[in-house]
Chains A and B, each alone.
Chain A
Amino acid sequence: DIQMTQSPSTLSASVGDRVTITCRASQSISSWLAWYQQKPGKAPNLLIYKASSLESGVPSRFSGSGSGTEFTLTISSLQPDDFATYYCQQYNSYSITFGGGTKVEIK
């Protein structure tokens, strides 16, 4: 199975900060990567698919980049609503895997 490693596991930031989360795949997944946001007690919400495509309705301050084995999710200017946990997900193979998550906390 393809392993997905996210870093950092926790990130402390302030409103207005530029935030970057990294996800590394154990082997090439081309661009078959998605990012999700999850708030406490809620189901995950799709933000980005195919590494860099913004899901409809998601604010443009979210962006994704990368291909192969290294990917990033960037929030250009952190807003109060963005404090949450973020997960990457690879769907390159018949067996889908998620990263361990990155919790974005208020500094």
Chain B
Amino acid sequence: EVQLVESGGGLVKPGGSLRLSCAASGFTFTNAWMSWARQAPGKGLEWVGRIKSKTAGGTTDYAAPVKGRFTISRDDSKNTLYLQMNSLKTEDTALYYCTRDEAMFGFDYWGQGTLVTVSS
């Protein structure tokens, strides 16, 4: 059974930093492309960024609102995906989802999300 379990969310002040983790199981994580998506309270879905598998180059892409502030990385030895968030703004407040990104086939598995609140 595929499982994606996010952790690391919490309350942080504007300008602060936070690192989210996503523990993956039930599939070959090494071969997977992974994405982060977020959803502000009562709002729609927003893609945050993606990391490709190392065999596909391991490169990252980011949405414009987070480019230069957020960094996605992966530790294939631990089957874990990370989202390092710096210079956080109040508009980054959202539920952050880890997803398996099947490139041509959409996001087929999602975690339950971890809540990030940016407030003074």
Complex CA gap A16/B113 in Å reads: 33
A81 at the interface (CB under 8 A from B): no
Complex CA gap A99/B47 in Å reads: 11
A32-B104 contact given A43-B112, A95-B64, CB 8 Å threshold: yes
Complex CA gap A43/B108 in Å reads: 11
Q: How many residues of A contact B (CB 8 A)?
A: 25
Which stretch from A19-27, A44-52, A69-77 is at the chain B interface? A44-52
Indicate the size class of the contact surface on chain B: 20 to 34
The reply to whether B106 and A97 form a contact with Cβ atoms under 8 Å apart is no
Contact of B63 among A43, A53, A55, A95 (CB under 8 A): A95
Contact of B45 among A48, A87, A95 (CB under 8 A): A87
The reply to whether B108 and A46 form a contact with Cβ atoms under 8 Å apart is yes
The reply to whether A1 and B64 form a contact with Cβ atoms under 8 Å apart is yes
A98 at the interface (CB under 8 A from B): yes
8 residue pairs, one from A and one from B, having the closest CB atoms: A34-B106, A43-B110, A49-B106, A96-B47, A98-B45, A101-B44, A49-B105, A94-B61
Extra contacts besides A36-B45, A91-B106, A96-B47 (5): CB < 8 Å: A32-B104, A44-B110, A46-B106, A49-B105, A95-B47
> Interface residues, chain B, CB within 8 Å of chain A?
35, 37, 44-47, 50, 61, 63-64, 97, 102-108, 110-113
Can you name 8 A-B pairs with beta carbons within 8 Å?
A43-B97, A44-B110, A49-B105, A89-B106, A91-B103, A91-B104, A96-B50, A101-B45
